[in-house]
Amino acid sequence: MNRRYRKTIIAGNWKMNKTISETKAFAEELKPLLGKPKWCEVVLCVPYVNIPAAVRAFKDSRVAIGAENCHSESHGAYTGEVTVEMLKEAGVKYVIIGHSERRQYYNETDFTVNKKVRAALDAGLYPIVCVGESLEQRELGVTMELITYQVKVALAGVPADKMRHVVIAYEPLWAIGTGKTATAEQAGEVCEAIRAVVRKLYGARVARSVTIQYGGSMNARNAAELLAQPDVDGGLIGGASLKAPDFVQIVNAANQE
Ligand code: PEP
């Protein structure tokens, strides 16, 4: 983390978990445990239908609400989809884009990710752009090339002044939901490489200010070590964001002065 230049952000990704009543109960449990973290921003990305309840439940807190996906078009015949304007009006601040589960199960590509990133930014949302390699790609030694490509395509056409809204999450596929975490060195090395790509595209000032998260089985036990890496500015947390006490411990690890 480097708070001098950029925000530390801990974001939960609930995926397809929790009903509206469970969302309200979670908020009541989380808020007193969390207090008002001063040094890091806390985000909960929740299923679409839970967004209004989550926005209401957290309105008097420091927790911002995010969505887990969005569509890139502004309206039209896309049954089952949700636009960025709908999310904005519902009180959403962040939106996860290009999560590996969306890439794997819903055919998202780097190009659809790019369209969604631009649509989210145009609506004033903060995209959390996910990139990451599979185990096979890591073993083949192409991680850095792949990540460079993913970041470049995701950011194509994004002007420098919009980059202060962009969050990039490095999520190695082999670490998501597997209980197998990247070592702090692996996470730090790839996050540093992502910052170098941003530097090449936008210059040193923008690169210094971009928040880059690590995601992949981050939990209360390993969070502090991962966050101690200078280029790891927070976490995208799946499983451990579903239980308030576990999530709070990760926030506490990030919320050090
Ligand atoms: C995720 O879904 O983005 C994620 C990192 O999940 P988990 O923490 O469960 O590995």
Confirm or reject: Cβ of 176 under 6 Å from ligand 1. yes
- The dihedral over CA atoms of 219, 95, 92, 195, expressed in degrees to the nearest 10, equals 80
Give the model's pLDDT for residue 4.
82
Using the atom order of ligand 1, give the atom closest to the CA of residue 219.
8
What are the angstrom distances between the C-alpha of 4 and each of 125, 254, 257? 23, 14, 11
Confirm or reject: Cβ of 217 under 6 Å from ligand 1. yes
Q: What confidence tier does 2 reach under pLDDT thresholds 50, 70, 90? A: confident
User: Which of 218, 221, 232, 242 has the most ligand 1 atoms within 8 A of CB, as the residue to mutate?
Assistant: 218
Q: Convert the pLDDT of each residue in 210-247 to its tens digit.
A: 999 999 999 999 999 999 999 999 999 999 999 999 99
Confirm or reject: Cβ of 219 under 6 Å from ligand 1. no
Give the model's pLDDT for residue 35.
85
Specify the pTM: 0.97
Mean pLDDT, rounded, of the chain: 96
Q: Convert the pLDDT of each residue in 180-212 to its tens digit.
A: 888 999 999 999 999 999 999 999 999 999 999
Cα 77 to ligand 1 centroid, rounded to whole Å: 31
Cβ–Cβ under 8 Å, residues 201 and 152: yes
Q: Check pLDDT > 90 for residue 7.
A: yes
Q: What confidence tier does 34 reach under pLDDT thresholds 50, 70, 90? A: very high
